[in-house]
Amino acid sequence: MILFAFLLVGLNGLFVAAEFSLIKVRKTRLAELAENGSPRAQTALDVTSQLDAYLSACQLGITLSSLGLGWVGEPAIATLIEPLFTGIAGWSTIYTHTISLVIAFSIITLLHIVLGELVPKSLAIQRSESTALATAGLLKGFYWICYPIIRALNGLANLVLRMLRIEPANEADLSHSEEELRMLVDASQKHGYLDKLEGKLLDNVFEFSDRNASEVMVPRQDMVCIFIQDTFEEVLEVVKKYGHTRYLLCDDDKDHVLGLVHMRDILRLQEQSGAKDIIQIKRDILAVPEGMPISHLVQRMRSLRTHIAVVVDEFGGSAGLVTIEDMLEELVGEIYDEFESEQPPIQKISENEYLLNGRVLMEEVSEMLDIQLEEETVTTIGGYIFSRLGRKPVKGDSVFFEGIQFEVIEVMGFRITQVKIVSKPLETKLSEE
């Protein structure tokens, strides 16, 4: 009976290990092993494809082995140790039997928790793949032997839940919310499973769907346009000066966008003899509202096979333009070619000083400085400072937020193009707190 009790502890541990390994193991890895000819991997893959059913089998196995352990193991151990207390002066038979049962219960509980639960659970979590491969075959056999019982118990459980107006849970549904996925990424970084670059890339993916066209566009003031009123020589000067591949074609001002022209078409037109009318090479351009999510915009631009779109404000005027590259940079960071001499949008000067392009989003600054900048009507750090000043900015102007200085370094008209941030040293923050 003692050996049978240990066998039940082992069975309990087997079902616990199988349950946790099935939840933890990666299906893609099992599929890879199965493709390489591993029959155990194919069995494990079959089991994980019906996770609900086999988890029910695990729970039935754990319940039966636990009940059996209490039924057989406790009396067996009590019978074994009771003679040790027989004959003690002053102890009656009932008292001796009771003490033996209490000690036997404690031993069985200890064995059940340590050997039947904690050890197999830790083993399955640490070595989920090998554990799943080792237990899948036994679990599959147990499932088919007990199939009618498992089916009946599941049916009764679901019936009770429906009577309580609760939808039965799907144990195979391991989907996570965006916030949960962010937490998983952070935890993976802290434990070294993801490096800093991989973690940043995944964070950018989550942020991507929250961005809209107005947040990534080139603002109207920075748009390089060709006007139908320009001579062809003036058009060539623009192309030579800026070196872009595509240009907006406008009539009189930037609010009247007619389409776009490609540099390749301009060069072909240059080779033609006679009068050269830029309107001949005009192509259609996609116009999108400021609030369009860039996740939708990139799909639309791909379907239309266009690389550039004009962003239109609520009054029908041009707010800016957005390119495929602008949206790609939201994922991988700034991209510069060999002809670009622009500085990165965020430059770290010292431990507590940063130089920023005025177009950097307030959200990025808040994340960088671990603060919460809030301004309903603006999205960029330049716009934030301008809004706080309430007048035309000049070089040297500063605003403060939670002791952090935001200084205007460069201005173009009313637009702040460069900002210097001086944050507090960590020691100062801690002393104030």
Q: What is the CATH number of the domain that holds 415?
A: 3.30.465.10
Q: Is residue 152 part of a domain?
A: yes
- Return the closest-CA partner of residue 408 out of 400, 359, 418: 418
Assess whether pLDDT exceeds 90 at residue 337: no
Q: Is residue 170 part of a domain?
A: no
Q: Are residues 235 and 327 in the same domain?
A: yes
Give the pLDDT band (50/70/90) at residue 426.
Answer: very low
Assess whether pLDDT exceeds 90 at residue 403: no
Q: Are residues 310 and 404 in the same domain?
A: no
Q: Are residues 159 and 24 in the same domain?
A: yes
Strands 286-289 and 398-401: unpaired
Q: Is residue 172 part of a domain?
A: no
- 4-21 pLDDT, tens digit each: 888 888 999 999 999 999
Q: Is residue 291 part of a domain?
A: yes
Of 78-92, 173-187, 311-325, the one with minimum mean pLDDT is 78-92
Q: Is residue 301 part of a domain?
A: yes
Mean pLDDT confidence for 225-248: 92
Q: Are residues 313 and 240 in the same domain?
A: yes
Q: Are residues 17 and 114 in the same domain?
A: yes
Give the pLDDT band (50/70/90) at residue 170.
Answer: low
Domain boundary among 332, 365, 394: 332
Assess whether pLDDT exceeds 50 at residue 64: yes
3-state secondary structure the chain: CHHHHHHHHHHHHHHHHHHHHHHHCCHHHHHHHHHCCCHHHHHHHHHHHCHHHHHHHHHHHHHHHHHHHHHHHHHHHHHHHHHHCCCCCCCCHHHHHHHHHHHHHHHHHHHHHHHHHHHHHHHHHHCHHHHHHHHHHHHHHHHHHCHHHHHHHHHHHHHHHHHCCCCCCCCCCCCCCHHHHHHHHHHHHHCCCCCHHHHHHHHHHHHHCCCEHHHHCEEHHHCCEEECCCCHHHHHHHHHHHCCCEEEEEECEEEEEEEEEEHHHHHHHHHCCCCCCHHHHCECCEEEECCCEHHHHHHHHHHHCCCEEEEECCCCCEEEEEEHHHHHHHHHCCCCCCCCCCCCCEEEEECCEEEEECCCEHHHHHHHHCCCCCCCCCCEHHHHHHHHHCCCCCCCCEEEECCEEEEEEEEECCEEEEEEEECCCHHHHHHHC
Domain boundary among 309, 332, 355: 332
Indicate the average pLDDT of the chain.
86
Q: Are residues 148 and 262 in the same domain?
A: no
- 240-296 pLDDT, tens digit each: 998 889 999 999 899 999 999 999 999 999 888 777 889 999 999 999 999 999 999
Our count of domains for the chain comes to 4
Mean pLDDT confidence for 54-61: 91
Q: Are residues 266 and 411 in the same domain?
A: no
Q: Is residue 171 part of a domain?
A: no
Q: Are residues 299 and 419 in the same domain?
A: no
Mean pLDDT confidence for 310-332: 90
Q: Is residue 225 part of a domain?
A: yes
Mean pLDDT confidence for 44-57: 88
d(CA 347, CA 335) in angstroms, rounded, equals 15
Domain boundary among 332, 355, 386: 332
Q: Are residues 19 and 116 in the same domain?
A: yes
Mean pLDDT confidence for 76-85: 75
Give the pLDDT band (50/70/90) at residue 175.
Answer: low
CATH code of the domain covering residue 235:
3.10.580.10
Q: What is the pTM of this model?
A: 0.56
Q: Are residues 202 and 225 in the same domain?
A: no
The domain of 392 spans: 346-432
Q: Is residue 338 part of a domain?
A: no
Q: Are residues 193 and 236 in the same domain?
A: no
Q: Are residues 183 and 253 in the same domain?
A: no
